[in-house]
């Protein structure tokens, strides 16, 4: 990779968020990866592209105004910082109690500005590296009446977001082969377009420190494994403010 540093312009961000057909899908993928990871090396995520191909793509995207070269003193454009906020002891205790009793917790404060969506339009994206867990989630979400997309890693999540667009809710495991789910949550919350995306942690991690971290970073809900079909359907229904099928 070149030592040149780039950032995504507003025009470029709009291109990948809206899946603009005038911008090639490979370019939309690079834009999303660049926006998500900043100036980190793109070829670690797009291993099918030779290094020179990436350089050529970046140069062309700069010409098109999709990205801009950073000056030495420039940083990332201002976005939405991750929701690193103190968690009240009562909130944490309530979350722990709900998880212990029901296996799920919903952050109702984050639901207040949401508008309900008709169930047929709802797409749920599940990120889990365990094939059995993915198959189980796929079955249960489909039975609840929602469309399902699946990813087994952070890399697969990024490709799904870039190529298929924004889901209506993201179910995110914590332990993934190429990333920590809490770190993914933090990065997504830094991006303006993902600040209000409903994100539910779906994990075996149930220690107080894990629950607190998820709440601080802006998780809308928390489900501990193993979980039942009714728990998952109930959380999705409440998170989306729409009746489960």
Per-residue confidence (pLDDT) for residue 4, from 0 to 100: 60
- 32 and 140 both lie in a single domain: no
CA pair distance 171, 72, nearest whole angstrom: 38
| Share in percent of the chain as helix, strand, coil (round to 5) | 45, 15, 40
Residue 127 lies in a domain: yes
3-state SS, residue 167: coil
Q: Which pairing describes strands 199-203 and 169-172: parallel, antiparallel, or unpaired?
A: parallel
- Domain membership of residue 43 as a residue range: 6-69
Q: What percent of the chain has pLDDT over 70?
A: 82
- 133 and 36 both lie in a single domain: no
What is the per-residue pLDDT across 117-154, written as a single tens digit (0 to 9) for each? 665 679 999 999 999 999 999 999 999 889 999 999 99
Per-residue confidence (pLDDT) for residue 164, from 0 to 100: 85
Q: Which two tokens stand for residue 6?
A: 């780039």
Helix (H) or strand (E) holding 38: none
CB 231 within 8 A of CB 223: yes
Per-residue confidence (pLDDT) for residue 43, from 0 to 100: 53
CB 234 within 8 A of CB 104: yes
- 162 and 63 both lie in a single domain: no
CA pair distance 137, 160, nearest whole angstrom: 17
* Average pLDDT of span 201-207: 91
The number of distinct structural domains making up the chain is 2
CB 235 within 8 A of CB 110: no
CB 202 within 8 A of CB 171: yes
Per-residue confidence (pLDDT) for residue 24, from 0 to 100: 83
């Amino acid at each position: 990779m070149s030592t040149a540093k780039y950032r995504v312009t507003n025009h470029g961000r709009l291109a990948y968020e809206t899946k603009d057909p005038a911008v090639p899908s490979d370019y939309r993928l690079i834009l999303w990866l660049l926006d998500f990871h900043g100036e980190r090396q793109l070829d670690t995520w797009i291993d099918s592209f030779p290094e020179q191909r990436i350089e050529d793509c970046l140069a062309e995207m700069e010409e098109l105004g999709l990205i801009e070269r950073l000056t030495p003193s420039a940083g990332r454009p201002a976005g939405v910082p991750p929701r690193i906020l103190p968690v009240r002891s009562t909130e944490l205790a309530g979350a722990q109690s709900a998880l212990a009793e029901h296996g799920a917790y919903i952050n109702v404060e984050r639901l207040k500005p949401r508008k309900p969506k008709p169930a047929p339009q709802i797409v749920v994206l599940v990120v889990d590296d365990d094939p059995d867990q993915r198959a189980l989630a796929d079955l249960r979400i489909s039975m609840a009446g929602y469309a399902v997309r699946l990813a087994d890693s952070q890399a697969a999540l990024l490709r799904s977001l870039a190529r298929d667009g924004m889901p209506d809710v993201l179910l995110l495991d914590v332990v993934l082969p190429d990333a920590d789910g809490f770190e993914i949550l933090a990065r997504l919350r830094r991006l303006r377009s993902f600040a209000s995306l409903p994100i539910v942690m779906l994990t075996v991690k149930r220690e107080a420190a894990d629950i607190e971290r998820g709440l601080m970073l802006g998780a809308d809900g928390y489900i501990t494994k193993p979980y039942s079909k009714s728990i998952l359907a109930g959380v999705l229904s409440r998170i989306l403010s729409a009746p489960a099928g």
